[in-house]
């Protein structure tokens, strides 16, 4: 079990890391997206979130309206986007 001091340090570290990610170039973001897709294809199991991670996500969710970022997409539309992107590639 983590102590309160360790939890606060972890949350502070997560915030600093997040702010650093805000200034990353687009190519870096694209590379991370590709890496995460590769993980999904290989069926890598995600780690279970601990309490400091949950608190960080709650704080970040209050910082911006994440619901506006969600988009509902039909599978047919997604496949069409994928094929179009692959043709451009």
pLDDT at residue 67, as a whole number: 73
Q: What is the DSSP secondary-structure string of the chain?
A: ---HHHHHHHHHHHHHHHHHHHT--HHHHHHHHHHHHHHHHTTPPPPPP-HHHHHHHHHHHHHS-GGGG-----HHHHHHHHHHHHHH-
5-54 pLDDT, tens digit per residue, is 788 888 888 888 878 877 777 777 777 777 777 776 777 677 788 888 88
- Is this structure's pTM higher than 0.85? no
Give the tens place of pLDDT for each residue, 42-88.
Answer: 776 777 888 888 888 788 777 777 777 677 778 888 888 888 888 87
Q: How far is it, in rounded angstroms, from Cα 11 to Cα 53?
A: 7
Q: Following CA atoms 76, 82, 39, 18 in sequence, which dihedral angle do they give, to the nearest 10 degrees? A: -100
- The pLDDT, as a whole number, for residue 2 is 63
């Amino acid at each position: 079990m983590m102590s309160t001091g360790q939890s606060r340090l972890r949350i502070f570290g997560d915030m600093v890391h997040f702010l650093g990610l805000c200034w990353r170039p687009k190519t870096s973001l694209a590379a991370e997206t590709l890496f995460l897709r590769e993980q999904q294809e290989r069926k890598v199991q995600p780690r279970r979130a601990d309490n400091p991670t949950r608190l960080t996500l709650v704080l970040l969710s209050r910082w911006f309206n994440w619901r506006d970022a969600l988009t509902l997409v039909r599978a047919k539309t997604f496949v069409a986007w994928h094929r179009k992107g692959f043709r451009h590639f």
